[in-house]
Structure 1
Amino acid sequence: MPDTAAVTPAPAGAVARAAARIDEATPPHRDRAVDALRAFAILGVVLGHWLVTALVADGDTLRAASPLGPMPWLAPVSWVFQTLAVFFMVGGHVATRSLVSHRARGGTHGAWLRARLSRLFKPVTAVLAVWTVAVPALLLGGASFVTVHTVAKLALSPLWFLLVFAGLTAATPLLARLSPLWPLAVVLHVDLVRFGLGGPAWLGWVNLVAGWLVPYTLGAAWTRGELERPRAGWTLLVGGAAATAVLVGFAGYPASMVGVPGAGVSNLNPPTLAAVTFGLAQCGLALLLRDRLRSFMARPLAWAAVALLNLSAMTVFLWHQTAMMATTATTLLAGRLPGLHTRPDGLDWVAARLLWLPVFVLVLGICRAAFHGFEQGNGRGRPGRRGPSRVVRVQHRSRRPEAKAARNA
């Protein structure tokens, strides 16, 4: 028998052993498909922003642009990477299940909510602190107000999601039994008044809550066991896709599922009926893929990657725009670089942007190393004071009967 260590490269062997340890530390009852869907949603948002957000250099000034404007045929890119509906569905599922388990152990809603919001907002303090210092520093350093406003707005844009998600989380006890049809009806009527009857544009902001309430309550229905049959997933996928096709093809809704600078109507800001029906189709596909994801996540390497991403989910989400803004702004000192500072109006820009993605990943990795401690709960970001990962902590708690009821919370 040959020595395994002799034929297996040391780095590959170390990665495999680390993945095996993570796999063994995960409770057998954990639904790995939930974590995989959350990781997919986070990666979709990150890659979507990196691919469809452009900063065009006009002299020393940076202005926001999007390749979806001059190249509308790239709209399918937004269909792949606009994954917020899946994130809200998973969030509603996890929050509802967590609340049920917490109450079963005699806990109060207040204690449950404080714990969840603390986990949600602690990482925000770091990004706000950095940009509170960065904005005046950039202005004092000679950057134009337009440039600073553009980069700060884009870097902090992920925070809107947290406010909506926090509001829905706080209302989980009221939403746990709510049918998704009710908020869907609200979105339908708001759009009917806005676009069909010439109502005020501000009315659309009602959909900022109602639109994301649809997938969130779908997650609650998942917890109640109402979406276990494949028929539910197929109904959402086919019905949502058909409705979206009709709305885009015949009702004048934009094909892009993200906002495009200069466009008259945005499907995302605020959400429109087309964005919501598209989200229903995405959620249906996610539900249909659960069994395959569970099988794939049985592989230690795949599961380790998903588990590690979930442990850094908030850090990645909050800092990915800052990573791109920092790369774009600092490299402007070297002149107008293709894919970073040039107009996104051709395939040459797309090819150049793809080459910049590894740089964005590298800068995001630096941000993750610097600020991941805030997400882990020590509030100081100091290395060496972290406890074991949540995966390992859940494994230790799983020996107690009540921890089994709180899996994935």
Structure 2
Amino acid sequence: MGISARELAAATPATRDRYVDLLRVASLAVVVLGHWLMAAVTADGQVGNLLAVVPELQVVTWALQVMPVFFFVGGFAHALAHRSRPGYAAFLRARLQRLLRPTMVFVGAWGAVALGLQLAGLDDGLAGVALRLVTQPLWFIGIYLAMVAFTPPLLRLHARWGWGAFGLLAGGAVAVDALRFAAGVPYVAFLNFAFVWLAVHQLGFLRADGMIRRPALLAAAGLAGATALVVLGPYPLSMVGMPGEKVSNMAPPTLALLCHGLWLVGAVELLKGPGARLVARAGVWRTVVAANGIAMTAFLWHLTAMLAVYGAMLGLGLRLPAPASGAWWAQVPLRFAAAAALTALLVAVFRRFEAPGRAPARTGGAALPAALGVALALLGVLGLSMTGLGGLLEGHGATLVAVRVTAPAAVAMALIGWLLVERTPAGHHRE
């Protein structure tokens, strides 16, 4: 029987930075609520984006696009974890097990549903849209896998150069956007999936060593930079991807998104004092501990819950108001409550897969399989985020950067990569 959240909360050492745990939970919660709100489902089962229906709301993404906060917190946690578990293979397994296991269960469950719907000829309408949409958030898992894999070398770079290591990654993002927009170099933009997100992740290393001493300056510089780039450059206002837009700040990430990340990191650091006092309360801390134990499962299944709510409404013949109309806004609390209840049910069913498992007893010589495992899992998960799970029997595919990948191949890569990570020893030796 596992340890309860109350017991874990009571056993928390006084040295733990509880504010970081609060940021992790809060950032994922904002992402979930944002996805629920932005989904604009019409009476014929089509799914649009609220920000496209009401473009004036795009400015809100400057506060609510909080993925940079989650990756920043990840950098902080990875720095501490690697210093306590320096072996590369053991570090990978320790950081990725609770990420990959619930992800592969999610892929397996939805893969079975996708095959069943296709064989029954029911993979059209809202069901077809669901098969395409439910895997889209997996891009976040893929980026996080890359961050874990690159933590050891980037941590060494940080130890040597400090802010200079961040500057190197930020400079790479600047160079990529210059080549992309000024020189029109094809495919170079995709390098910013690494430069932008790893730069944000590097900020977490700086926080771990107490090197972010002027958060107000960081926030002001980031906000001013993002504003100037949007006003004067080719960058759109929205900090999330918009359907049909020629340039997206998210896919691939841009220098404007990096500046947005700086602004958010500075802002949450400015709130560290009141945030730490809040989470020091016993009841709040127990809630944060409990939420952290199910956060990845809830993230994986929250779109399933939302689409199931809309599917039930359509199936029962309930009226779906026009997106952004008065009646639509009036329904928001009810849709949120239903989606939250269904997410809670899915979490109750699948949460056990998020619990850490036991590592193999053997030790030694596992760095190469571990690295291969995380690489395959990364490619597979990113591929699935692009292809969706529709048309599995036909080998439906999509282009990942410049390579064509099919959904079955992506599933296979993710599965093999996960199994390699699962078989990684737990030893603390250096490899």
TM-score by length of 2: 0.76
Q: Secondary structure at the match of 1:68?
A: helix
Measured in 1, the distance between the counterparts of 2:54 and 2:198 equals: 32
Cα shift at 1:116: 1.5
Name the structure 1 match of 2:95.
116
**Conserved 8 A contact 1:50-1:324:** yes
Name the structure 2 match of 1:93.
76
Counterpart AA for 1:83:
V
Change (3 A) 1:199 1:148: farther
Name the structure 2 match of 1:249.
231
TM-score by length of 1: 0.80
Measured in 1, the distance between the counterparts of 2:173 and 2:193 equals: 9
Cα shift at 1:138: 2.5
Q: Does 1:208 align with 2:208?
A: no
User: Gapped runs of 5+ residues in structure 2?
Assistant: 159-164, 359-427
The structure 2 residue matched to 1:181, chosen from 167, 172, 182, is 167
Q: Secondary structure at the match of 1:180?
A: helix
The structure 2 residue matched to 1:368, chosen from 325, 347, 356, is 347
User: Gapped runs of 5+ residues in structure 1?
Assistant: 1-17, 380-405
Cα shift at 1:35: 0.4
Name the structure 2 match of 1:382.
none
Name the structure 2 match of 1:153.
132
**Conserved 8 A contact 1:71-1:346:** no
**Conserved 8 A contact 1:56-1:63:** yes
Q: Secondary structure at the match of 1:258?
A: coil
Q: Secondary structure at the match of 2:46?
A: strand
Cα deviation 1:193-237 (Å, max 9, x = unaligned): 22233332x32211112111111011111122211x2x1x11210
Measured in 2, the distance between the counterparts of 1:273 and 1:343 equals: 35
Measured in 2, the distance between the counterparts of 1:361 and 1:160 equals: 23
Cα shift at 1:328: 1.8
How many residue pairs end up in the alignment? 349
Counterpart AA for 1:97:
L
Q: Secondary structure at the match of 1:171?
A: helix
Cα shift at 1:281: 0.4
Q: Does 1:322 align with 2:307?
A: no
Measured in 1, the distance between the counterparts of 2:314 and 2:72 equals: 39
The structure 1 residue matched to 2:150, chosen from 171, 183, 196, is 171
Q: Secondary structure at the match of 1:254?
A: coil
Cα shift at 1:337: 3.4
Identity among equivalent pairs (%): 35
Q: Secondary structure at the match of 1:49?
A: helix
Change (3 A) 1:311 1:20: closer
**Conserved 8 A contact 2:5-2:290:** no
Measured in 2, the distance between the counterparts of 1:143 and 1:78 equals: 35
Q: Does 1:24 align with 2:10?
A: yes
Q: Does 1:299 align with 2:281?
A: yes
Name the structure 1 match of 2:418.
none
1:4-403 equivalences under 5 Å are 23-58=9-44, 62-103=45-86, 108-145=87-124, 147-176=126-155, 177-178=157-158, 179-200=165-186, 202-227=187-212, 229=213, 231=214, 233-335=215-317, 337-338=319-320, 342-377=321-356
Cα deviation 1:139-178 (Å, max 9, x = unaligned): 3444344644421232111211111111110111111134
Cα deviation 1:31-81 (Å, max 9, x = unaligned): 1111011111111111111111233343xxx33311111211111332232
